């Protein structure tokens, strides 16, 4: 299996996915949902990627974002990534920005954790429940599932694919918080 994954990784690195990633980005942008009253049953526990977006209520600088987001009543949550945040010039109140990007083999469960967890819950997540500036007025989300044609692939191959897609999305969208 390791040799298969290494071969897949080599092949993957030689493929230009610019168009496919652009299609995924468009699909994500066009299917945003409010984090208020989410019908979690409509989301399947499939392999895929997800994006949380923010429509800020203030013109954030790095310092004000860190002050509002990095609250000591929360633990195990993603931190602001300076280099990614600074790629967004002139934060506008009428615009939405990628806030966080993730991947999961259980989309429903993972998205639910980000939305419903709070405070010191041990699971690493956004912990949006109860946040003052990051709530159903400012945060939306969308997700993209691996195509059904890949259902019969091994879990390792599916994990490899969503990891690669997540990385490419992160490089293109520059979410404000999360992995460096």
Whether the predicted model's global pTM rises above the 0.95 cut: no
SS3 145: strand
CA distance from start to end of the chain: 28
**Which contacts qualify for 18-26: CB closer than 8 Å, 24 or more apart?**
21/165, 21/168, 21/169, 21/172, 24/49, 24/144, 24/165, 24/169, 25/169, 25/172, 25/173
Question: Sign of dihedral through CA atoms 24, 15, 165, 149?
Answer: positive
pLDDT of 4: 65
How many other C-beta atoms are found inside a 10 Å radius of the C-beta of residue 119?
Answer: 13
- 26 vs 32, 142, 173, CA distance in Å? 11, 11, 11
pLDDT of 14: 58
Mean pLDDT calculated for residue range 156-162: 92
Parallel, antiparallel or unpaired: strands 139-145 and 33-34: antiparallel
Length of the chain counted residue by residue: 180
CA distance 25 to 140: 15
List the chain domain ranges: 2-173
Looking up tokens 């709530």 gives 135
- 112: phi then psi, degrees, rounded to nearest 5: -60, -40
CA distance 57 to 73: 22
pLDDT tens sequence across 122-137: 899 999 998 999 999 9
pLDDT tens sequence across 26-69: 999 999 999 998 999 999 999 999 999 999 999 999 999 999 99
pLDDT tens sequence across 103-115: 999 999 999 999 9
């Amino acid at each position: 299996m390791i040799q298969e994954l290494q071969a897949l990784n080599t092949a993957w690195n030689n493929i230009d996915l610019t168009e496919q990633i652009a299609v995924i980005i468009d699909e994500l942008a066009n299917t945003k949902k409010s984090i208020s009253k989410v019908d979690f049953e409509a989301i399947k526990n499939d392999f895929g990627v997800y994006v949380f977006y923010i429509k800020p209520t203030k013109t954030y600088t790095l310092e004000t974002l860190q002050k509002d987001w990095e609250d000591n009543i929360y633990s195990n949550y993603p931190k602001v990534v300076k280099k990614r945040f600074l790629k967004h010039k002139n934060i506008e109140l009428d615009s939405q920005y990628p806030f966080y990007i993730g991947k999961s083999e259980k989309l429903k469960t993972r998205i639910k954790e980000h939305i419903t967890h709070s405070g010191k819950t041990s699971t690493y997540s956004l912990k949006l429940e109860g946040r003052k500036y990051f709530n159903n007025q400012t945060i939306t989300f969308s997700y993209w599932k691996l195509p059904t044609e890949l259902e019969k692939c091994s879990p390792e191959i599916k994990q490899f694919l969503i990891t690669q897609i997540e990385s490419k999305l992160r490089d293109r969208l520059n979410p404000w918080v999360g992995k460096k």
